[in-house]
Every structure is written in C-alpha cells, then in structure tokens.
Amino acid sequence: MATVTRSVREVCEEAKAASHVLARVGREAKDACLKDLAERLEGRSAELLEANRADLEAGREEGLNDALIDRLTLTEERISEMAAGVREIAGLEDPVGELVESWTLENGLRVRKERVPIGVVAIVYEARPNVTIDAAALCLKSGNAAVLRGSSSAETSNAFLAGLVREALAAAELPEAATCLLEGRGHEQLRELATQEGLVDLIIPRGGEGLKRALKEAATVPVMYAAAGNCHVYVHEDADLSMAQRIAYNAKVQRPGVCNSAETLLVHRKVASALLPAAIQELADAGVELVGDERTRENAGSVRVGVATPEDWDTEYLGMKMAIAVVDSLAEAIEHINTHGTGHSEAIVTSSEEAAEGFTGGVDAAAVYVNASTRFTDGYEFGMGAEIGNSTQKLHARGPIGLRELTTTKYIVHGSGQIRE
C-alpha cells in the first residue's frame, strides 16, 4: 500500500487557503479554540508522554547527547507549562483589527491603517516539541496559518501535538490546515519551503546559526531571524558600584544559556580598581570562568583571570564564562559594543543622564538599558505576552517577536467617488 505524502507545496497551498478564512475569525472563536487546546493537552497527557517516549527511545538509539535528550523530553510538568502558555496567549489582546493610525485627506478620503495577519507563517525549529504548541498558538491568535517544520527526532511527539491542535481547530469549526506540520526531512525540503513565494509569507527559524545560514542562502521568501546575543554591561566612571556589581552578576549568572545574558563586562578605568576585585571574586565564586585584558587582570585579586583573545570579544559563550575589559571612556565602550555586539541587549550603569543619553543614543541595539540587567529583553518581561523569539534584525520587528509582530498592516480607504486629477 502506497503512503500518500503531500508535497511541501500542497501543504503550503492548504495553509494559504486556511489563512484566508482565519484572517476573518474574531477573537472569541480563536480564544475558545486555544482554551480547548489547553484542556486537550492536559487531558491527553498520558498519550502524549507515550508518543514522546517513542522519540526518546529512538533518540537514545541514535546516540543523541544528554542536552538534546533533555530538550526532547516532555514531562507532566512541561505539559502543564505548555497548557498554561496556551491559556496565557488566549488571554492576550487580539492584534488583528487594531487601528494603527487614521486620518482624513484634503479630498475627503478617510484613511485607516489597521493590523491584519501576515498570512502563512512557517516556523522551523529544532528538537523541542513545546515549540509546536507555542508556535501554533501564537499563529492562531494572530490570525496566521502556521506551517511547522519540526525536527525528525521529535517526529512522534510533534505529530501528536499537531494532531491535538487540529482536533481543537475542527471542534471550533476552524480550518484544520491553520496548523500544518512538516516533519523535518533534510535541506532540500527546507529549500523548498523557503522558496514558496506567494504561499509562504514569512519564515522564522528557531535554532542554531547553521539553520539560519542555510535559510539565509536558500530563502526567497522573507525570513525573520531570532537572535544571537553578544550582550554587554558597561560600568561608567560615576556608577553606583554596588548596583553595577549586582547588575553584572545578574546579567551573567541568573541564566547564562540564553541570548539576553551578558558575555562581556566593560569597566571605565577610573572605577576598575574599586569595582573589579569584588566583582571578579563574586563571579568566580559562582563558577564563572573569566578572561580579561591586561588592566582587568591587574585588578583580579587572587582570582585567576585568563588572557582574553580577540575572539573572546566576539563570542556568545551562552554559558558560565565572561570576558572583561577596561575602557578609557564612554566613547570607547560604545565603539567596543558596536564593533563586537550583535545588536541584542546592552546596558550601562551610570548616575549621569548625559552618559545614559550618550549610551542609549550611540549603541546600535534592539534594547539598551540604563541601570538594569540585560536579562529583561523578553516578550513576557516587557509585558507583551508570549514571544516566538527575539529579533536582532532591523526590519519589521526588532526585539521580542510577539503577537503584534506577527501582523502586517492594511490601508483601508473610504471615499465618495474620489478620482485622481
């Protein structure tokens, strides 16, 4: 018996048709569907865990490392978190139909600029099965059809999860093709997905640099890149040093594996000897490996601080390692950040408004902080609700990609017979 497999194009065509229906669906029906999905996730958790066990067994046989197995693993607790996330999305404002601006032209034409769904959003991700639910829920709420391309290592889990979403869609009398799942099948499939012009309106990769690079090269449809974050904390000469130490520590240690954690600490030379010995000691005590320039190493006290290589300034460690440099001025700090940073999140600690303005104006990044940790760049922390990533590119969305960033706009113009003279 032949297996009937739909092509990427066919899947995208179904998603496109569904997107036209979904764009007109009101908030109530979408929220009801999301709440129902949350129920299904919890009510069917035993089956879901069983599906997940099949992926885990296959993964262990294939020799996936512990970190990948951990990402792949679902538990009752993780399922509850997924359901809670879906309920939270249901509680957010619907961005569709939001009025961005309106005005009347001299000729009497009334112009409205409204938010509308983008259409078909493809999301390409790695092993975490929870992204299937996050992405499906965010797309549904923002009125977009989702084409999800998960990892083949999460095949069984993802198929079950996408099935639950489609059950909830069907129960709500919404088009099931609002959520379509492609199991990841190599680069040729990715290239096919990334060239569906006219069908796929946007691709968002959630994964490593290799995936982004592959997409950048192959894509003819627009791609929105979630971020790498080489973030800095700069301590100005007039900083409250205990605040500075607290912020530097938090930005590095609170959760070192995420993109908004800091990788490099920059310290004005005038406060290097007052700040660094204690700050370095505290970081080292927490288990942070440190590297620094010469002036930093002179202020390391009894802690061993390695020699920072040129590569260190460009590295997103995503772990318990930090580079430290002493700078002569605010301008040098800004120059260092604009040269080595990735435009994600950058912080200054200062008591001067002038220095703060110089920093926030001069640093080219999605988010710049005065006297706060870089760790706040996040859709939840910013009060935007859920996010699907954090953009460091400058077009369309810069910073957290939330529901509103998953919309585009439409000009709606009402007249009474106006023609162009």
Q: Which residues bind a second copy (CB under 8 A)?
A: 20, 23-24, 103, 105, 109, 111, 118-119, 201-202, 216-217, 220, 222, 224, 240, 243, 246-247, 249-251, 254-255, 338, 356, 360-362, 364-373, 375-377, 381-383, 393-396, 398-399, 408-421
Q: Which is nearer to a second copy, 257 or 361 (CB)?
A: 361
Query: What contacts 120, CB < 8 A, 6 or more positions away?
Result: 12, 15, 16, 19, 144, 145, 146, 147, 199, 200, 201, 202
237-242 contacts at long range (C-beta below 8 A, 24 or more positions apart):
237/268, 237/269, 237/270, 237/271, 238/350, 238/351, 238/352, 238/355, 239/268, 239/271, 239/275, 239/349, 239/350, 239/351, 240/349, 240/351, 240/371, 241/271, 241/274, 241/275
| Minimum distance from residue 112 beta carbon to a second copy (Å) | 9
| Minimum distance from residue 249 beta carbon to a second copy (Å) | 8
Q: Which is nearer to a second copy, 69 or 211 (CB)?
A: 211
Cα of 285 vs its chain's centroid, Å: 31
Q: Which helix or strand (DSSP H or E) is residue 295 part of?
A: helix 294-297
Say which amino acid occupies 272.
A
Q: Which is nearer to a second copy, 75 or 107 (CB)?
A: 107
Q: Which is nearer to a second copy, 55 or 316 (CB)?
A: 316
| Minimum distance from residue 160 beta carbon to a second copy (Å) | 32
| Minimum distance from residue 250 beta carbon to a second copy (Å) | 4
Q: Which is nearer to a second copy, 48 or 334 (CB)?
A: 334
Q: Which is nearer to a second copy, 1 or 395 (CB)?
A: 395
| Minimum distance from residue 130 beta carbon to a second copy (Å) | 21
| Minimum distance from residue 5 beta carbon to a second copy (Å) | 26
Rounded to whole angstroms, the maximal C-alpha distance in the chain is: 81
Adjacent-strand bridge partners of 5 = none
Q: Rounded to 5 degrees, what angle do the CA atoms 76, 77, 80 make?
A: 90
| Phi and psi torsions of 175, nearest 5° | -65, 130
CA distance 80 to 38: 9
DSSP single-letter state for residue 308: P
| Minimum distance from residue 216 beta carbon to a second copy (Å) | 5
Q: Which is nearer to a second copy, 112 or 185 (CB)?
A: 112
Query: What contacts 212, CB < 8 A, 6 or more positions away?
Result: 205, 225
